[in-house]
Amino acid sequence: MQITLRVNGEERTLDVTPYTRLLDLIREDLGLTGVKEGCGKGECGACTVIMNGELTASCLVPAPQADGAEILTIEGLAADGKLDPIQESFIEAGAVQCGFCIPGMVLAGKRLLDENPNPNEEDVRYGLSGNICRCTGYAKIIDAVMMAADKLKVEGSVNNGE
């Protein structure tokens, strides 16, 4: 069967089976390997994408359910080659160790800040609770999200001043 979906703004039509996982479709068919497979059972968050605006474990989505969906992966976050503030913050905070969980962490952080631009630490922990870091580098990951929130506030005030 065929499905049509938009990935990082590009519309694509693909042949799939019901048991093609969205994860495999993105990695194998589209070659976007920023999406990782960790546990394959929705417990680790490495395969996180933003699907129709919500955090989604792509290992638990049958491809036909993504028909008509809007998908954002880590590759689609930087606009015109410029990193998103949350990506910059992860670099500046030194939040990346082995890096395997980071695409999911960054997207979870972005989704949280889209909804709540002024999170406290508890909000950040709840927002990232679906993502596991086996290097256990949580402290700096949380710092990075808080830092991104501050960056966005400054950017916002600059834009408002224009």
Partner 1 sequence: MKKSPMKLESSQTISGVDFENYFQPGSLKEALEIKAEYGRDITIAAGTTDLFVAYYERLHTIKNWLDLSKIDELKYIKFSEKNVKIGAMTTHLALKESEELKGKFPVLQAAAADVGSPQIRSRGTIGGNIATSSPSGDLLTPLLSYQARFKLETAGKSRWAAAEEFFTGPKQNIMGPKEILTEIEVPLPKNDSSGYWIKIGRRKALVISTLNFSLVLEFNKEKISRAGLAMGSAAPTPVRLKKIEEMLVGKSLDELDHRKLGEEVKKQIAPIDDVRGTKEYREDVAFETMINALEDIESRRG
Binding site for partner 1 (CB under 8 A): 1, 7-8, 10, 12, 14-21, 24-25, 28-32, 40-43, 45, 48, 51, 54-57, 59-62, 64-65, 67, 75, 80-81, 108, 111, 126-127, 129-132
Residue 59 or 152 with smaller CB distance to partner 1? 59
**Closest approach of Cβ 83 to partner 1, in Å?**
13
Q: Least distance in Å: CB of 136 to partner 1? A: 13
Q: Which is nearer to partner 1, 2 or 159 (CB)?
A: 2
How far apart are CB 161 and partner 1 at their closest, in Å? Answer: 30
Residue listed under structure tokens 């960054």: 106
Residues ≥6 apart with Cβ < 8 Å to 107:
48, 49, 50, 55, 72, 73, 74, 77
Closer of 15 and 92 to partner 1 (Cβ): 15
**What are phi and psi for residue 104, nearest 5 degrees?**
-70, -40
Distance separating alpha carbons of residues 22 and 20, to the nearest angstrom: 6
Query: Of 129 and 156, which CB lies nearer to partner 1 in the complex structure?
Result: 129
Cβ pair 9, 55 in contact under 8 A:
no
Least distance (Å) between residue 154 CB and partner 1 = 26
In the bound complex, what is the minimum distance in angstroms from residue 65's beta carbon to partner 1? Answer: 5
Q: Are 133 and 101 in contact (CB under 8 A)?
A: yes
Give dist(CA 60, CA 58) in Å, integer: 5
Nearer to partner 1, 43 or 150 (CB): 43
CB 118 within 8 A of CB 62: no
**Helix (H/G/I), strand (E/B), else coil: 48:** strand
